[in-house]
Amino acid sequence: MSGQLASRADYGAAALDLNITKDLCAFLAEATFESLPEAAVHAGRRGVLDWIGCALAGSRHPTISKLLSVLEEVGGAPQATVLGRGMKLGLLEAPIANGQMGHVLDFDDTHMGGVVLHASSPVLSALFALSEKKTVSGRDFLLAYAAGFEAGVRAGQGAPAHHAGGWHLTGTLGTIAAGAAAGRLLGLNAQQMVHALGIAATQAAGMQQNRGTMCKSFHAGKAASNGLLAALLAQKGFDSSDEILEGKRGFCRIYSNVTNTDLILDQLGERWEITRNGHKPYACGVVLHPTIDAMIALGAKVPQTGGVAAIELRVNPLAVSITGVADPRTGLKSKFSLTHTAAVAFLDRAAGIAQYTDERARDPEVSALRDIVHVRTDENLGKDQAWAAVVLQNGERYEHQVVHASGTVDNPMSDAAMEAKFMANAVPAIGQDRAARVRDAVWRLDQLDDVGSLLGPCA
């Protein structure tokens, strides 16, 4: 490159597609609750209900005690509630705890619209912390929640190879989502929102290498805390690049070797990403869900007497690349095991919290069955599709095909199923009465004057 004249080029600015971050942030700063379609509002109610339940169930996970022992030590003035633990922590520490407990069971919501993102753990952990700092109405809360989805999902759509590159999107996109949501709840103007996104995105992290470890759900908690910090800083005039998404050394280019920044603004204001959110009937990664549907169906169909000779699966390649752990020895690892999942779903006709414990991961019956699971990937199968067969030792053969897994956009959980899931998650932590009170309040969230009032019964 000797001899290249470069004295007037400003290498800090984007060369190609200016104003994408600015346009997105102007939209986020200026959107009103009235502009949300009822489908988005209802998706918000469902999302809040589901997340609170997941966080309450997760609050009892051993990982959380380790985390809290440190956060209590470093943390300061109790300002924000830790769900299910009867305690408060500092404003940046409570979101770490709540975000991690929301995601630790892999039971929380999943957006699969060009991303694999568990947005609610980062976003709601940040928003609930702010809801104790000032009085927040249900309408403002729901708008901020939707704004978080817009920012996080759209940033991911602009970086199409982000997931394949090895990133845990709940950590990375979750930080951006939490920053935008917190910024919206703080009422940032458009320029401040640009900075909130810039400060959030520059903290975005989380590696898939840490799947099956305590770090995976920690990513969700740190995303919440980092996003909240970003918004608080932006409010005080802390600045960042104005082109954090599209810039030459910005998010879409350095977190992905493929870039499609045009998608970031596609149908903005028409398509609300929160309406495309999915909720899990099963306590594990969403790519496992079609297989679970199939194995539960086969568990009901196959005679209990005949010994099983083999289980055959055909799945989308992502189910193997994400959940290819063959012989998990811990509950956390077993959530990333297609073979474990097929075995327990068949044996237990369920895939709840009880199917992903350390004990179940080490159970000899489960382990024996795992060893005779044969997996083939098939690119013609969607991420929400699977085919399974059980072959008995007497040669009999039973098959089942799943076209859309339960809980996905094309086969959503009903409101009744969401309620049942919530109560199953929440009652062991806070009891029947308080759980019912929270449930009823969340269904009319847009009428609440003070969202922080939800936290008392959840503490």
Site for its own copies in 360-419 (CB under 8 A): 373-380
Residues numbered 177 to 196 that lie near its own copies (CB under 8 A) are none
Number of residues in contact with its own copies under rule CB under 8 A? 91
Q: Does the protein bind its own copies through residue 317 (CB under 8 A)?
A: yes
- Residue 39 vs 70, nearer CB to its own copies: 70
Instruction: Tell me the window of 32-40, 65-73, 357-365, 434-442 that interacts with its own copies (CB under 8 A).
Output: 65-73
CB of 336 to its own copies, least distance (A): 7
Question: Is there binding between residue 239 and its own copies (CB under 8 A)?
Answer: yes
| String of DSSP letters for 36-96 | S-HHHHHHHHHHHHHHHHHHHHHTTSHHHHHHHHHHHHH--S--EEETTTTEEE-TTTHHH
Min dist CB 242 to its own copies, Å, is 9
Write the binding mask 242 to 281 for its own copies: x where contact by CB under 8 A, - elsewhere: -xx--xxxxx-xx--x------------------------
Neighbouring CB atoms inside 10 A of 57's CB total: 27
Is 69 exposed, middle or buried (CB count within 10 Å of its CB: 0-12, 13-18, 19+)?
Answer: exposed
386-392 and 397-402 beta bridge pairing? antiparallel
Considering the complex, state which of residue 326 and residue 354 has its C-beta at the smaller distance from its own copies.
326
Residue 153 CA to residue 304 CA, distance in Å, equals 44
CB of residue 92 to its own copies, shortest distance in Å:
5
Residues 136 and 138: their CA atoms lie apart, in Å, by 7
d(CA 368, CA 363): 9
251 vs 422, beta carbon nearer its own copies: 251
Residue 336 binds its own copies, judged by CB under 8 A: yes
Instruction: Give the count of alpha carbons within 13 A of 290, CB side only.
Output: 27
- Provide the minimum distance between the beta carbon of 320 and its own copies in the complex, in angstroms, as a whole number: 5
Specify the stretch interacting with its own copies by CB under 8 A; choose among 34-42, 114-122, 146-154, 317-325.
Answer: 317-325
213 vs 267, which CB is nearer to its own copies? Answer: 213
CB of 384 to its own copies, least distance (A): 18
Evaluate whether 388 touches 298 at the Cβ level (below 8 Å). Answer: yes
- Of the ranges 29-37, 47-55, 166-174, 278-286, which one interacts with its own copies (CB under 8 A)? 166-174
CB neighbour list of residue 110: distance below 8 Å, 6 or more residues apart: 116, 117, 118, 277, 278, 279, 280, 286
The distance of closest approach from Cβ of residue 159 to its own copies in the complex, given in angstroms and rounded to an integer, is 12
Closest CA to 260 of 143, 156, 385, 386: 156
Nearest distance, CB of residue 264 and its own copies, angstroms:
15
User: CA–CA separation, 244 vs 241, rounded Å?
Assistant: 6
- What single string gives the DSSP state of each residue in 295-354? HHHHHHHS-SSSPEEEEEEEE-HHHHHHSB-SS--SHHHHTTBHHHHHHHHHHHS--SGG
Rounded to a whole number of angstroms, the minimum distance from the CB of residue 424 to its own copies is: 28
Check binding of 241 to its own copies (CB under 8 A): yes
| Residue closer to its own copies (CB basis): 325 or 442 | 325
Based on CB atoms, which residue is closest to its own copies, 44 or 212? Answer: 212
The phi and psi torsions of 233 (rounded to 5 degrees) equal -65, -45
Q: Shortest gap between Cβ of 75 and its own copies (angstroms)?
A: 5
| Residue choice 15, 30, 35, 66 for contact with its own copies (CB under 8 A) | 66
Residue 421 CA to residue 458 CA, distance in Å, equals 16
Name the residue among 356, 353, 110 with its Cα closest to residue 220.
110
Task: Give the integer Cα–Cα distance in Å for 183 and 310.
Answer: 53
| Nearer to its own copies among residue 358 and residue 409 (C-beta) | 358
Q: CB nearer to its own copies: give 67 or 391.
A: 67
| Interface with its own copies in residues 102-141 (CB under 8 A) | none
Q: Quick check: 212 binds its own copies (CB under 8 A)?
A: yes
CB of 247 to its own copies, least distance (A): 4
Residue 184, CA atoms < 13 Å, CB-side half-sphere: 34
Which range in 63-71, 270-278, 279-287, 359-367 contacts its own copies by CB under 8 A? 63-71
Nearer to its own copies, 371 or 396 (CB): 371
Candidate list 34, 38, 237, 414; residue touching its own copies; CB under 8 A: 237
Name the minimum Å distance from CB 363 to its own copies: 19
